[in-house]
Structure 1
Amino acid sequence: MKTLWAPWRMAYILSEKKPEDCVFCNAFRERKDEENYVLFRSKHCFVIMNIYPYNPGHIMVVPNRHIDHIKLLNEQERADIFQVMQTFCNILETAFKPNGFNIGMNIGSTAGAGIADHIHFHIVPRWNGDTNFISTVCDTKVISESLRQTYNKIKELI
């Protein structure tokens, strides 16, 4: 079994969080899309960059409604979310030329959800050999471009 290490996420894990705060609801409500790295809004969901990415281009598709389980999505939300996921896989293929993708979600904190109260789907571009000696030996992941550069690259293709 291979392990995907993401030690840079510890800053988020250890950060103080207020129970009433939801980073997704705040980003949706604030409408400061560039500042919050929101790339796109549709009728039932929005796309936001993961600011602690596993790889360049790591994005999340988030329902507009604050819900904590996939079973709570209605038919329109499901259709919209999957359409947006398909569209953004195409955009990420054009922008980054990955060899594949990891697409998934964690439902509940026990399953690994860092934000358990608001479901979201991760889309992570993957390349052959995207883990290397530095991640294995040094327990460090190298992200080769800034969040702003990645945001601008994706935004240009929307």
Structure 2
Amino acid sequence: MTRLPHNGTDDEPEEPASGAGTSGLGESTAGESGPETSTQHGIGVPDALQRLWTPHRLTYIQGENKPTGENSDGCPFCHLLGDDRSDEDSLIVARDELVFAVLNLYPYNPGHLMVLPYRHVADYTELTPGETVAVAEFTQRAMRVIRSVSAPHGFNIGLNQGPVAGAGIAAHLHQHVVPRWGGDSNFMPVIGHTRVLPQLLGDTRELLSDAWQRVE
């Protein structure tokens, strides 16, 4: 079976060693009897989160001419649906009656896609009951499809509601589905400001679209 390439390791990430902890200033240390695993000096409150730094997206985030109001004019998602381009050219992976899934043009990881309603709506609370169910079910199916072709170790899934919450296109609600692998945040994006993607988006779209037909 064709697999979705990625930048992480195929091995499951190991659990932290017993006794490992963090200091109040963001310094990660090991327990008294164990070896030191890592040390990071700085100011912050430990929260056990893994950071997925994305400096490569700064240019896009600071971009102009992104839709902010209720009008669908200028909305790139609505343009995808209104254009005469094929789903292949638009990177649309799958469609349903109320929602569709499309690859992110600025992916965090290979296979990063978005699930969203056809209707131009900004806030999650404005979805109809049918749209709410459809988004949830399509998200579940997207996870199963991605697992079938790439076996990720985990996922980041969520909605960014409003520009202050990090939404790049806040006017049209979209749910991110980001596959994650151990070691996928390495020195290239963090130091080199470069995200290495081992597969072209068109090839990723074809792989996921084919798998979507097989996986329920």
TM over 0.5: yes
Q: Unpaired segments of 5 or more residues in structure 2?
A: 1-48, 68-72
Aligned match of 2:148 in 81, 90, 94?
Answer: 94
Asked if structure 2 preserves the Cα contact closer than 8 Å seen for 1:5 and 1:141, the reply is: no
Identity %: 39
Shift of 1:74: 1.0
Shift of 1:125: 0.3
Shift of 1:155: 1.4
Q: Secondary structure at the match of 2:145?
A: helix
- Give per-residue Cα distances to partners, 1:15-44, cap 9 Å, x unaligned: 442653001111122252111101111111
Structure 1 residue 61 corresponds to structure 2 residue 115: yes
Q: Unpaired segments of 5 or more residues in structure 1?
A: none
- Give per-residue Cα distances to partners, 1:53-84, cap 9 Å, x unaligned: 00000000011110110000111111111111
Amino acid at match of 1:117: A
Counterpart residue number, 1:30: 83
Counterpart residue number, 2:54: 6
Shift of 1:138: 2.1
Shift of 1:45: 0.7
Q: CA RMSD in A?
A: 1.6
TM-score using structure 1 length:
0.92
Q: Secondary structure at the match of 1:57?
A: coil
Whose Rg is larger? 2
TM-score using structure 2 length:
0.68
Asked if structure 2 preserves the Cα contact closer than 8 Å seen for 1:50 and 1:60, the reply is: yes
Aligned match of 1:17 in 61, 65, 71?
Answer: 65
Compared with structure 1, are the counterparts of its residues 135 and 8 closer, same or farther at alpha carbon in structure 2 (3 Å cutoff)? closer
- Looking at structure 1, the residues matched to 147 and 175 of structure 2 have their Cα atoms a distance apart, in angstroms, of 17
Shift of 1:14: 4.6
5 Å-filtered alignment, 1:2-151, equals 2-17=50-65, 19=67, 20-30=73-83, 32=85, 33-151=87-205
- Looking at structure 1, the residues matched to 66 and 155 of structure 2 have their Cα atoms a distance apart, in angstroms, of 32
Shift of 1:145: 1.2
Q: Secondary structure at the match of 1:52?
A: coil
Aligned match of 1:153 in 185, 207, 211?
Answer: 207
- Looking at structure 2, the residues matched to 18 and 91 of structure 1 have their Cα atoms a distance apart, in angstroms, of 30
Name the one with the larger helix percent. 1
